[in-house]
């Protein structure tokens, strides 16, 4: 699916998807009608109506196959963001166990990390261009600070250990988030889904070749179902792209003051 479509607001995306589906449906009906002359018309009329249910079932299986990946990616994206948010929140709370300068420095690094994630990484993920090549500098510096601390007492020792674990979880959550942002529905799945929908529309047009109104109604109903399926898949095809994407709001909520 094209980036320009996935970045449209849901309403405009719906107009494009529904409009395109209906146009293609009209073209299919016109082509079948134009070809239905002489012996070809008799052949078209010979197509059994019993062919339509299996074709519809196969299309439904294609939709389920594609949608399963889409919903799974969205769930994984939410889980990765939640894990990262929880880890950063733990770092902020654990930093309060240390003296003022250390606490202030760790809070500042977490604040930098969240700011850079929201303003730089998120737009890059939305464009499907995020990479793991460069490590997040604020998190790396925070981890170095945590490892270099000299704890005084059992409380600070436990806080240091838990802070290192939380920073590692934050790094892992970021890695998962970026990896998931690179996921998308591949062109083979999309092509298979569209071809199956087209085959079913052609079969409907052939079965009802002698009754124009019935053909139009049946094809319009099936085309509407196709458009709804395509719109739902397109609006969630990339977890961090588009109006229905996973946003950075939770990260902003744990931003230290």
If pLDDT is split at 50, 70 and 90, which confidence band does 15 have? very high
Q: Per-residue confidence at 256, pLDDT binned at 50, 70, 90?
A: confident
Q: Which band of pLDDT confidence, cut at 50, 70 and 90, is reported for residue 121?
A: very high
| Whole-structure pTM value | 0.86
Mean local confidence (pLDDT), 249-253: 93
Question: What is the reported pLDDT for 47?
Answer: 86
| 5 vs 89: which has the higher pLDDT | 89
The pLDDT score that the predictor gives to residue 243 is 87
Q: What is the CA radius of gyration of the chain?
A: 27
Q: Is the pLDDT of residue 4 over 70?
A: yes
Distances (CA, A) of 80 to 26, 89, 247: 43, 14, 12
What percent of the chain shows pLDDT beyond 90?
A: 71
Q: Mean of the pLDDT values across residues 108-126?
A: 94
> Sign (positive/negative) of CA torsion 182, 173, 74, 192?
positive
Using the structure block, give the residue that is written with the tokens 């589906």. Answer: 21
- pLDDT the model gives residue 128: 85
Helices marked H in 36-51 — which ranges? 39-45
**Residue pLDDT, tens place only, 97-111:** 888 889 999 999 999
Domain ranges of the chain: 85-182+244-257
Contact 91, 142 (CB under 8 A): yes
Mean pLDDT for 191-213 is: 93
**pLDDT at position 137:** 94
Give pLDDT tens digits for 43-78: 888 888 999 999 999 999 999 999 999 999 999 999
Pair 139, 174: CB distance under 8 Å: yes
Tokens of 220: 């319009």
Span 37-42, mean pLDDT?
A: 85
Name the average pLDDT for the chain. 92
Q: What is the pLDDT of residue 251?
A: 93
Average pLDDT over residues 134-140: 91
């Amino acid at each position: 699916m094209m980036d320009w479509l996935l970045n449209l607001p849901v309403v405009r995306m719906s107009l494009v998807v529904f409009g395109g589906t209906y146009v293609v449906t009209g073209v299919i009906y016109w082509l079948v009608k134009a070809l239905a002359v002489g012996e070809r018309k008799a052949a078209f009329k010979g197509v059994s109506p019993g062919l339509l249910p299996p074709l519809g079932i196969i299309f439904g299986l294609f939709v389920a196959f594609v949608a399963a990946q889409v919903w799974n990616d969205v769930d994984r994206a939410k889980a990765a963001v939640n894990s990262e948010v929880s880890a950063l929140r733990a770092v902020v709370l654990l930093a309060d166990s240390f003296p003022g300068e250390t606490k202030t420095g760790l809070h500042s690094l977490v604040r930098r990390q969240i700011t850079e994630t929201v303003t730089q990484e998120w737009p890059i993920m939305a464009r499907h261009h995020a990479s793991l090549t460069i490590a997040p500098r604020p998190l790396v510096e925070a981890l170095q600070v945590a490892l270099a601390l000299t704890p005084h007492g059992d409380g600070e020792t436990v806080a240091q250990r838990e802070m290192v674990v939380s920073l590692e979880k934050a790094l892992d959550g970021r890695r998962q988030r970026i990896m998931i942002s690179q996921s998308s529905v591949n062109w083979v799945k999309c092509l298979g889904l569209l071809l199956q929908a087209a085959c079913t529309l052609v079969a409907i047009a052939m079965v009802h070749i002698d009754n124009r109104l019935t053909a139009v109604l049946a094809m319009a109903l099936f085309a509407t179902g196709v458009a709804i399926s395509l719109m739902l898949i397109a609006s969630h095809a990339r977890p961090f792209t588009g109006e229905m994407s996973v946003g950075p709001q939770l990260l902003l909520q744990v931003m230290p003051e």
